[in-house]
Structure 1
Amino acid sequence: MTARVVAAVLVVLLGVFHAQLWFGRGSIPEVQRLRERLAAQRLANEEARAANARLAAEVQDLREGLEIVEEIARSELGMVKPNEILVQFGP
């Protein structure tokens, strides 16, 4: 009788652990979803690193010389040097 009770308890525990493996916290589907989220986050981090590197290069250029400042002023603000004529071509 006690052997049957022990066996029944073990079977129930096995069922509980098996259900936890498939449906509970840390289950196989949840781990797969977390891996997908991790891959997406790593991709987003890599894109952010690239954007940061571009911005750092631009900041370094701004600190080093005035050429980039002049280029930005000419292209975005339409500034010209004294005694210079601005010529624009239409589309």
Structure 2
Amino acid sequence: MKPFVLVLFALLALLQYRLWFGENSLTEYFTLKDRISHQQSGNAELLERNEVLKEEIQDLKSGTEALEERARNELGLIEQGETFFRVVGNDSRSTRSEEQSQDSQ
């Protein structure tokens, strides 16, 4: 009976070793589970970005409004008959006056 118990104990120790430190152990399982969750969140962000890009491509293919908007913002398009105003100023004056009014209160 005693050798049988020793064999069972050795088998239990071997199984415990494989569970905690061997191939496909619990630590490896939790590490892979964490990596999978990070990868899935990254994939979700990329899918959202792809959808936005697909919508932008569709807008550019379907109409001239998106093209015109992009030309106005990026290239400074001004149509005939429009007046262009450029406001040049220092925002520091407005922020200083706001800070002074807050300090006086």
Q: Distance in 1 between matches of 2:54 and 2:81?
A: 34
2:78 counterpart (57, 80, 84):
80
Q: Distance in 1 between matches of 2:7 and 2:27?
A: 27
Instruction: Name the SS for the 1:57 alignment partner.
Output: helix
RCO higher in 1 or 2 (8 Å CA, sep ≥ 6)? 1
Q: Residue in 2 aligned with 1:64?
A: 62
Q: What secondary structure does 1:86 align onto?
A: coil
- How many residues in Structure 1 have an aligned counterpart in Structure 2? 89
Identity %: 36
For residue 43 of structure 1, what is the aligned residue in structure 2? 41
Specify the alignment match of 1:31 in structure 2: 29
SS in 2 for 1:90: coil
* Whole-angstrom CA distance in 2 between matches of 1:7 and 1:78: 86
Once the two structures are TM-superposed, the CA of residue 13 in structure 1 deviates from its matched residue by 2.8
Secondary structure of 1:45's match? helix
Task: Work out the CA distance in 1 between the residues paired with 2:88 and 2:45.
Answer: 35
Gaps of 5+ in 1: none
TM-score (norm 2): 0.74
Residue correspondence of structure 1 range 14-29 to structure 2 within 5 A: 14-29=12-27
Could you say what secondary structure the match of 2:79 adopts?
A: coil
SS of equivalent to 1:18: helix
Taking only aligned residues, the RMSD between alpha carbons, in angstroms, comes to 1.8
Shift of 1:7: 4.5
